[in-house]
A and B are shown apart, each in its own frame.
Chain A
Amino acid sequence: MAIYKRTYRAYAGPLTPEWSRFWVLTRYAWRYLFRSRAMTGFFILCFFPAIVMALGLYLNHSESLLRLLRMPSGRALIGDFPLYFRVFVQMQTGWAMLLTAFAGPTLISPDLVNNALPLYFCRPFSRAEYVLGKFCVIAWLVSLITWIPGLILFLIEVGLSGPAWGWNNLYLARGILLGSLGYVLVYSFIGLALSAWVKWKPVAGALVLGTFFLGAGFGAAINEVLHTKNGYFIDTGHMLKVFMEALFRVPTADDEVSSIAAVIQLLAVCGLCLWLLSRKTRAFEVVR
């Protein structure tokens, strides 16, 4: 419509497929997040370890460079590949936690503070799509710095060592993928749930970190005082570590919880977060 014809006109053009509309929220949230230079800078910094690790893999196979570094002949730079990849994933999930603390609070709380939810839900857009759209914001950011570069590193090593190495160590790829996805799920859900319940962004961000650090502190205290392993059940970070170590075939210590218990605890955390989200993401709160 030309501006000079300012009359109401119905829309008669094509519509996007319904299944793709959750992605609109993800796009807009990213656009908002990356307007911050600090966020953009930090996100770029998160790729730095992956670059260093890739260089490490290359060095490991370059005899001339190893000689230049005065490494003894026949001795490899990387002796333990499972440890190498596990350290990479754990390091990246640390960055991912900070990313979640930064990005999570900006997702749902502004909509609640500004009472914007009725505007979303009066459209052909469900609560599930809303949560999925917001979930993807953190999930993809965390994925981009964890399992995606992790698998690229794995493929680099396959390229350097040959397909036989890849085939024999396929469990490492599975560990990188599933272990990271565990972190992706838990971080995303905790970030969203806290964003929905805590409207003040700095507090919500601090609580994301607090969930892990305070959980670890209290869990350790309970274990110490009561001489038990049950304290780990409030230490979500520890449970994620147990889950990942199981995927990397690290032997379980005697005083450690089983990987199945860890999976159950992580699912319970995700379930709790979903329940918290379902309580808050409504067009209107009904006072009964």
Chain B
Amino acid sequence: MSALIGKGAQRDAAGPGLPALMRDAAASCALIELQDLSVRFGNRTILDRLNCTLSGRAIGLLGPNGAGKSTLINSLLGFYKPAGGTAQVLGYDIRKQTKQIRTIVGYMPENDSFIANMTAVSFVRLMAELSGLPSEAALERAHEALFYVGLGEARYRKLGTYSLGMKQLAKLAQALVHGPKLVILDEPTNGLDPPARQRMVRLVQEMKDSGEVRIVLCSHLLHDVEQTCDEVLILNQGRIVHYSNLEEERKANLRFVELETVGDQAPFAEALIKMGCECALLGQGRVKMVLNNGVDIRDIYRVAGERQIQLRRLNYRRDSLEDIFLKAVEQGSRPPVPVGSAAHGNL
């Protein structure tokens, strides 16, 4: 399958007019496939044998500072040569097919990247022309992209005069102008005020919903990732510490309950597990559980009464992305977990 997609995508890179069937096939193939990918700078291992397959429409890349997120992005773009293993982006190998990858990818870097003495429209047009668009088409697309991101009225202003939020939007426009199949956004909401952040998140959601582009979003703001992404990959110290398919979790509609109890939790938890619930003791009287379909809240009260457990608080609460993230980072020093497309968020 992936070979077939690879050929299809290759044909698209060589010229326009990719048949709709192939476009659909390309859209459904693995977005990113990491195969024992390692990156080293001198003696330092930055990425340590990463393995995973990501196929969502929008993938969140999370991790604390220095986790290797930006290095992973840069390696996927071919800026850093892998020390071991390889990776594929939409079927293209990062070692051998860098040019093809760069043809179908739009990249919005984290730091300020622009040419200060150019107007936004000239800058975006230049980027489009460098991606291979003919001059007139590039100009047309530059106007469109700037209107799309909301800089239409300011497109003839020099980039050096833009506010931080506007610069972020200009960077997004240049990433979109050549119509990529995959957009890599590195901290797109960095330094934005709440309305600008909301606007950026809405744009990313719109892009995802258009179905024409897939997104890799690298951000420290977990709420942004939770709002926009289907899958989340958490890195810590150059290793994958967690993979979560948010979309599947949402679909699964599991019934998460969080309890705060006083008393001996062990027999209480045992009884709940016997009833078919998934249960985790978090210490200090806190219990998290997923209710089985046949189990009701009344059953929890009943079991608690039988075991003489006091229920001080009961919340319906799923693990937020923040919980998942913090737990994953805490577990970061443990051996890497195997990840796959069927993985679920843990309790």
Q: Is the pair B117, A32 in contact by a Cβ cutoff of 8 Å?
A: yes
**Count of chain A residues with a beta carbon within 8 Å of a chain B beta carbon:** 40
Give the distance in Å from the alpha carbon of A282 to the alpha carbon of B74 in the complex: 12
B144 at interface (Cβ–Cβ under 8 A)? yes
Give the distance in Å from the alpha carbon of A120 to the alpha carbon of B102 in the complex: 10
Q: Which single residue of chain A is at the shortest CB-CB distance from B109? A: A118
Query: Is chain A's interface secondary structure helix, strand, loop, or mixed overall?
Result: loop
Q: Which single residue of chain B is at the shortest CB-CB distance from A117? A: B113
Q: Which single residue of chain B is at the shortest CB-CB distance from A283? A: B79
Q: Is the pair A116, B212 in contact by a Cβ cutoff of 8 Å?
A: no
Q: Is the pair A9, B80 in contact by a Cβ cutoff of 8 Å?
A: no
Chain A, 117-128, contact with B by CB distance < 8 Å: what is the 0/1 string? 011111111100
Q: Is the pair A16, B132 in contact by a Cβ cutoff of 8 Å?
A: yes
Q: B residues within 8 Å of A by Cβ?
A: 15-18, 41-42, 44, 74, 77, 79-80, 99-100, 102-103, 105, 107, 109, 111-118, 122, 126-127, 129-134, 137, 141, 144, 147-148, 152, 174, 176, 178-181, 206-207, 210, 212-213
Known: A8-B207, A8-B213. A283 touches B127 (CB 8 A): no
A18 at interface (Cβ–Cβ under 8 A)? yes
Q: Which single residue of chain A is at the shortest CB-CB distance from B79? A: A283
- 26 A-B contacts, Cβ less than 8 Å apart? A1-B144, A3-B147, A7-B148, A7-B210, A10-B181, A11-B179, A12-B179, A14-B137, A15-B134, A32-B118, A110-B116, A110-B117, A113-B116, A114-B112, A114-B113, A114-B114, A114-B116, A115-B111, A116-B113, A119-B174, A122-B105, A123-B178, A124-B100, A124-B132, A125-B102, A288-B41
Give the distance in Å from the alpha carbon of A288 to the alpha carbon of B148 in the complex: 40
Q: Is the pair B213, A116 in contact by a Cβ cutoff of 8 Å?
A: no
Give the distance in Å from the alpha carbon of A7 to the alpha carbon of B118 in the complex: 25
Residues on A with beta carbons closer than 8 Å to the beta carbon of B100: 124
**A124 smallest CB distance to B (angstroms):** 5
Residues on B with beta carbons closer than 8 Å to the beta carbon of A13: 16, 133-134, 137
Which 4 residue pairs across A and B have the least CB separation, nearest first?
A11-B179, A288-B42, A15-B132, A122-B107
Q: Is the pair A125, B130 in contact by a Cβ cutoff of 8 Å?
A: yes
**B167 smallest CB distance to A (angstroms):** 10
